[in-house]
Structure 1
Amino acid sequence: MLIMNAMTPLTDILEKLKSEGYTQDFNIADDCIICSNNNTTLDPSTFRIDRYFRFEGETDPSDQAIVYAISSKDGTIKGVLVNSYGLYSDEKAANIISLLEHPSK
């Protein structure tokens, strides 16, 4: 289990997730997830969010980010997706993230 306190830096979370097998760096296109390690496009309906971590910058709104640990439903691909929220939120990313299976579903 990954434990994060209020002061855990984003880079520490990314390193910990990488050590747990979340090695792919995901990005978002208009209607799909892109695995930037090999430029493969992936269908969001085949992925789920395993965990997520929210970071809030105390002095700079651009420091607001969410790290999603996501994996394919068959367990063969694991990676991270980093997105801003608030003022700098990426609408395309929010739309794709809403298509993923969430831990509470």
Structure 2
Amino acid sequence: MYAYDTLSEAVNDMRKRGYKEDFNLEPNCISCAQLDLQLHPEHFTVEEFYRFEGISNPDDNSIVYGITSKDGVMGILVDGYGIYSESLTDDMISKLRMHPE
């Protein structure tokens, strides 16, 4: 795993390493608008992730995931966590927690 000081540093490096697509979090899947693609938990793998905590506000937290689909599509999912995180299905919660340590 890599070490990053900022979210933007992580995203920029991950893009250089092949995570080209932008994924969005949906309650039961992740989606990519550019590819008109929806990936349900059984169709993707979390390859890496990085957490960032806000310095001035403890509620300003985010996590960036490096995700690969079963078909080889590589992309980035950035999400806030804590009080502002999305309502997800149990399958999505389980999948996003099943990341490499």
| TM-score, normalisation: structure 2 | 0.81
Tell me the amino acid that sits aligned with residue 34 of structure 1: S
Q: Does 1:91 pair with 2:87?
A: yes
Q: Return the offset for 1:93.
A: 7.7
Q: Mind listing any 5+ residue stretches in structure 1 that lack a counterpart?
A: none
Question: Structure 1 residues 34 and 93, CA, compared in 2 at 3 Å: closer, same or farther?
Answer: farther
8 A Cα contact 1:28 1:93, kept in partner = no
Counterpart of 1:59 (choices 56, 67, 74) is 56
Question: Structure 1 residues 98 and 41, CA, compared in 2 at 3 Å: closer, same or farther?
Answer: same
Q: Return the offset for 1:62.
A: 4.2
Q: Return the offset for 1:94.
A: 7.8
Q: Mind listing any 5+ residue stretches in structure 2 that lack a counterpart?
A: none
* Residues paired across the two proteins, number: 100
Q: Distance in 2 between matches of 1:80 and 1:93?
A: 20
Give RMSD over aligned pairs.
Answer: 2.3
Q: Distance in 2 between matches of 1:56 and 1:94?
A: 25
Question: Structure 1 residues 87 and 30, CA, compared in 2 at 3 Å: closer, same or farther?
Answer: closer
Q: Does 1:23 pair with 2:17?
A: no
8 A Cα contact 2:53 2:62, kept in partner = yes
Q: Distance in 1 between matches of 2:59 and 2:90?
A: 17
Q: Distance in 2 between matches of 1:43 and 1:88?
A: 22
Q: Percent identity?
A: 38
